Each structure stands twice: as C-alpha cells, then as structure tokens.
Amino acid sequence: MTATHHYTGDEWEQYCLLLARRHYGADQVQEVPARHGGDLGIEAFTFCGRAFQCYAPVEPLSTAERYDKQRNKLSTDLRKLSTKQKDLQRLLGGVQISTYVFLVPIFDSAQLVQHASTKAEEVRAKNLPFISRDFKVTVATDAIYAKERNEVLERVNSLVDVFPTPPGEVESWMEGNSQLAETALEKLAKLRLSPGVSRTYLEQLINQFLDSENALARLRERYPDQWEAATGSKVRKERKLVLEYPPGSTNSAADVTSIVRSLKEEISRQVPALDDSFIDAMSWGSIADWLMRCPLDFELSESGT
C-alpha cells in the first residue's frame, strides 16, 4: 500500500478489522477488546486460526525508524502469547492459531520479514497448546485484502441501509417526548425562525434522529466495531461543542449547517466504511439530540433583540 493518509492507532485498527470482517465474514471474526482484561497481544482472531495485530506508528518516519518501531511492537506482542497463555487459552477455546497477521500501513523493510520468521520459530518452540505446529507470522499491509479495501474505500456497498421514518412516527415520538421537543423548539426560536418554520425544522431534525438511531441499532448488531467508532466520533464532537462554538457564535440556521458539515467530516474520517447517507442522517440526527439534551444552544443575534 502506498499510504497517503497517516492513521492513528485506533483508525488503523478499526479499518483492518473491517477488512477482516468483510473477507472472512462478520460472524467469523472475534474482536478482542483490550479495555477490560488487558492487552493479550492480538486484536482479533478468526475461528479458522488467524490472529490479527494492527499497528500504525506515528508518521512520518524514515524506513529505519519505522522498522525499529514495528520490530519492537511485533516482539512485544508475540511475547504475550506465552506470558498471557492462560488467558489466551480461555479466550480462544478450541481454536488453534496457525497464522499471526501483523498489519501495518507501510511495510518497506525486508529485515522485518526476517525478524518475523525468527519470532515465529521461537513461538513454535514453546509448544503452546493454542499454537499450531506450522505457526507462522505474516507481515502485511491492507493490500492482502485488495478486494475488500476497494469496496471500503469506494463505498460500493452500505454496511447498513438508512430507512426513512414515516411522518406519523415522528409525530408520535414528539408527542411522547414533549418536554424534549419543547426544549429544542425554545432553542430554535433563537434562530429567528417563525414558530411554524421552527416546528417544521424540528420535525425534520427528529426525522433524521429516528432514521439514524434505527440505522445505528442495526450497525451495532452487525458491525459493533464500526458502531463504536461512529458513536465515539459523535461523543468527541459533543465534548468540544462549547469550545468550537462558544455562546454567541451560533445564531443562524447556517451555523447549524456548519456544525453538521464538521461532524460529517469527522465521522467520514474516523469510519470510512460508512456511506454518505448514513453519515448525513447521523450528523443531522446528532443536532436534534444535542438540542433536546442541552449540549447545543444558541444566543439571539443583536438584530433579533
């Protein structure tokens, strides 16, 4: 792969796991979160015997610097196969790992292949119960999943479809959540929209909110890693709303559109697998959510006082 984008560690991991899920099947790839129970040296495995570790050092780096970081990371994580063997055996059940795939954005050192071969031999010599006799370590970029990479980057297929919410359900939701709707309407009034326009505007926001909530529920069920990345982007944006849009800086519908545009760019960068319709619904739906729950507010412009 000729990397033109410098990935963060989380971005690269989510991207690699998406490729693996598409290649082997979503129900054949088990993610291994490190947040609870500690890092076990792998980030996912398949039931057919492949383990994955995804690593993206902070770029730019020279070839020698990149090799040093990749070599050290690979050594550290392969060592955990023995130091964490009890936890790994319980995690894997009856699965035996035959191939350890070390996925990196840029791979330009033959010495790393030599190092991987040496480490694979060391792992085999330990006779670990969950390691097969022909265990090997493969160093690769996303080029090994070229078909899946093209599908993701070109967004040929949607992970989940966004189905429009019928107008009747929007009205029912607003009636059942009248306090939240009233809070949002009070804020929209500060944009100097007429009462009728404010309500229509809110109805469309609620429509997008319900569309996105339903789509997110399906995304969570089918692709939990992508759901986590998408919702994480929204949460990070919400935490910075007051900093990026301080009181007094947002007082028009155009300002709202600007916030939506910024969130769309953030989600698209963090979760490239999501298509435009999903990102659009989620971004506008987030505005409705923030208006109702209070992270987002407006101030009357001087011309409106």
Rounded Cα gap, residues 292 and 242, in angstroms: 16
Please tell me which of 95-104, 160-169, 193-202 the model is most confident about, judged by mean pLDDT: 95-104
Rounded Cα gap, residues 72 and 272, in angstroms: 29
Helix 276-293 to helix 224-239 angle (10° resolution) is 50
Is pLDDT larger for residue 97 or for residue 194?
97
Pairing outcome for strands 44-46 and 29-31: antiparallel
Helices within 84-137 (DSSP H only): 85-92, 110-125
Rounded Cα gap, residues 7 and 46, in angstroms: 24
Burial of 252 (0-12, 13-18, 19+ CB in 10 A): middle
Which range has the worst mean pLDDT, 149-163, 170-184, 234-248, 282-296? Answer: 149-163
Under 8 Å between Cβ of 29 and 20: yes
Cα of 134 vs its chain's centroid, Å: 34
Cα of 174 vs its chain's centroid, Å: 30
pLDDT tens per residue, range 198-252: 888 888 999 999 999 999 998 888 888 889 889 999 999 888 887 887 766 666 7
Under 8 Å between Cβ of 223 and 18: yes
Whether the predicted pLDDT of 98 surpasses 90: yes
pLDDT tens per residue, range 27-37: 899 988 775 45
Whether the predicted pLDDT of 192 surpasses 90: no
Whole-model pTM?
A: 0.54
Whether the predicted pLDDT of 115 surpasses 90: yes
- Token couple for 89: 């055996």
Radius of gyration of the chain (CA): 24
Under 8 Å between Cβ of 163 and 223: no
Is pLDDT larger for residue 81 or for residue 160?
81
Rounded Cα gap, residues 199 and 107, in angstroms: 55
pLDDT tens per residue, range 37-88: 567 999 999 999 999 999 999 988 999 999 999 999 999 999 999 999 999 9
Strand partners, 30: 45
pLDDT confidence of residue 304: 43
Domains of the chain: 9-154 (3.40.1350), 167-304 (no CATH)
Rounded Cα gap, residues 28 and 19, in angstroms: 12
Rounded Cα gap, residues 113 and 137, in angstroms: 9
- pLDDT above 70 coverage of the chain, percent: 89
pLDDT confidence of residue 2: 41
Q: How would you classify residue 170: left for phi > 0, otherwise alpha for psi between -120 and 50, otherwise beta?
A: alpha
